[in-house]
Structure 1
Amino acid sequence: MVVPVTTTRDAARGTDSQTDPGPVAPAARMTPSQYGVGARFTLSVYDSDYVRIILDALAAADQAGLTIETNDISTFVGGPEQRVLDFLREVIAGAAGSGAHLSAAILLSRGCPGELACELPAGVAALGAAPVELAATGVRARAHWSLYPLLDGGATGDHMGPIYAAIEDARAAGVVAGSDHFATRLDGDLATVLATAANGWIGVGALVQHVTTHLTVSVNSPSEITE
């Protein structure tokens, strides 16, 4: 089920949608919304009481300072990196507290070109951000994680270097459980899994102007875990 939320006003910009970022700002003053920072998110709860579970999780999550838009397919969450990840953590952990099996499909994107046009000063390749920090949830999560640097100099760019570095950071965090087709498998506290993927995305984003990362997160699965 698509997370059923209503649009709230982005406190930082006073607009209803990240798709209208307004005039391009100098890099020193560019907001996360103007740089295209956000998530696209779908939460699926495999329980007959899924509507209540999702609505209760949303009601408990802090939406302050975020732009949130939903349609029949997925939900967009725009705002500073820390706030976006706080929101995702709170919603998923809240739903997981029901004990129901759930999955979350999360796409994080930052930079441009994409839906936005950025004008960075000469010599500035990308805009970084501080790593996110998420409080532990006590919820075990398993995830498939993929990272995509999208603007790194074309065919001659070092496509895999930033990806390998992010995976090594994930190993150091103790959440890498293996690799599957097209993805790295993560296993650990939900907060650590989300923060590891997000900080890989942020870290590569300090070097590469346009970066996306994708997570499929599973919680409370009845399937036997064998690896």
Structure 2
Amino acid sequence: MFSGAQISLYPMTGDFVGVITSALSALDPYRERLRIETDDVSTLLVGPPEVLFPAMRDLFSAAAGTGVHCVLSATISRGCPGEPDDAICQSGQFEGPLAALSERQASALDAVRTAPDMGVSSVAQFSLYVMGQGDHMAEIYGCIDFLKQSGTFEKSKHFATKLSGDTGALFATLEQGFCRFGPPEGHVTIDLTVSANSPSAR
């Protein structure tokens, strides 16, 4: 299976280059388990979800921890039929048959409860897309039920769900939504925007 994310980080400051280059060091512990490619639009991170989401969390937390308004925009995908399998993406997350929805929701909630506290508050809006055949809306509604119990749910929006909380819990919620809902070998995508230190909130 192929899994990865196209991400762009936007610090709202004159020293945006300094904030970005400093925050990039947060990716260092993950570099051996990720393929990273950067161009003038975005950075591609390819790897298993259990590495991908903590890497995005740490990158965003490092940038937002400076206190400046920061936004992370990401398109995250797994199982795309147009992408070749990549050994670096090998993960135990998708082994075995699909468990009952209630079991997956309970496991997802446990993962969020044990997420690390990063000390950075943020908000996010995201949309989950379960592609292919089957009852995809049952999976999406199951994910929404999980979100409402996660402790990070803020509200439903047109075309998206808004989350808020510490970036540790927030990215754990996103990872669980990405991994636990939809067929293990199915095509699942997330459209994500995360923001911290916005002047709008004041």
State the TM-score bracket (shorter-chain normalisation): 0.7 to 0.9
1:218 matched to 2:195? The reply is: yes
Q: Does the 8 Å contact 2:10/2:71 carry over to 1? A: yes
Considering Cα pairs closer than 8 Å and 6+ residues apart, tell me whether 1 or 2 has the greater RCO: 2
Q: Does the 8 Å contact 1:141/1:218 carry over to 2? A: yes
- SS of alignment partner, residue 218 of structure 1: strand
What residue in structure 2 maps to residue 201 of structure 1?
Answer: 178
Q: Does the 8 Å contact 1:85/1:194 carry over to 2? A: yes
Residues 50-65 of structure 1 mapped to structure 2, 5 A cutoff: 50-61=16-27, 62=29, 63-65=31-33
C-alpha displacement at 1:141, in angstroms? 0.9
Separation in 1, partners of 2:188, 2:4: 11
Deviations 1:138-179 (A, max 9, x none): 11111111000111x2xxx31211111111111111111111
Deviations 1:177-197 (A, max 9, x none): 111110001011112111111
- SS of alignment partner, residue 145 of structure 2: helix
Query: Which structure has the larger Rg?
Result: 1
Q: Which runs of 5+ in 1 are unaligned?
A: 1-34, 119-126
Aligned pair count reads: 179
Higher helix proportion (structure 1 or 2): 2
1:136 matched to 2:117? The reply is: yes
C-alpha displacement at 1:109, in angstroms? 0.8
Separation in 2, partners of 1:205, 1:181: 21
What residue in structure 2 maps to residue 146 of structure 1?
Answer: 127
Q: Does the 8 Å contact 1:86/1:134 carry over to 2? A: no
Q: Which runs of 5+ in 2 are unaligned?
A: 87-92, 96-106
C-alpha displacement at 1:64, in angstroms? 2.5
Separation in 2, partners of 1:145, 1:158: 20
RMSD over equivalenced CA pairs, Å:
2.1
Amino acid in structure 2 at the alignment position of 1:183: A
C-alpha displacement at 1:70, in angstroms? 1.0
Separation in 1, partners of 2:184, 2:63: 35
Percent sequence identity over matched residues?
Answer: 38
